[in-house]
Amino acid sequence: MKVNYQIYDHGDEVLLAACDNDVLGRTLQNGDINLEVKESFYAGQKIELERLKKEFKKSTIANLVGEKVVNAAIEEGFGREEDLMMIEDVPHLQIVRL
């Protein structure tokens, strides 16, 4: 199973943006919250979910959208279930490692 991802290097910080295929290009809404899952931000490349798990270890910041991507982060101990936000029944997780 492949998902969309992009890596952004900012000095010492490595930002990982990843999303499931079924949410790419959508705008998710929940009350005052609007999350645009833009192709320009998330869709740099396609990557196997197992390989994405290795990218978690290199990342200091992550913006993850979708059930598969978020569940993989939680399974790997990169993110925590209690920190995820549901937007239109789609899990969204932001991570900053200090």
Domains of the chain: residue spans and CATH: 1-59 (3.30.1860.10)
Task: Decide the pairing of beta strands 61-65 and 13-19.
Answer: parallel
Mean pLDDT, the chain, integer: 95
Question: pLDDT class for 1, splitting at 50, 70, 90?
Answer: confident
Question: pLDDT class for 6, splitting at 50, 70, 90?
Answer: very high
Overall average pLDDT of the 74-94 stretch = 96
How much is the pTM?
0.94
Overall average pLDDT of the 39-66 stretch = 95
Burial class (CB in 10 A: 0-12, 13-18, 19+), 26: middle
Ramachandran angles phi, psi of 47, nearest 5°: -145, 145
Task: List beta partners, residue 24.
Answer: none
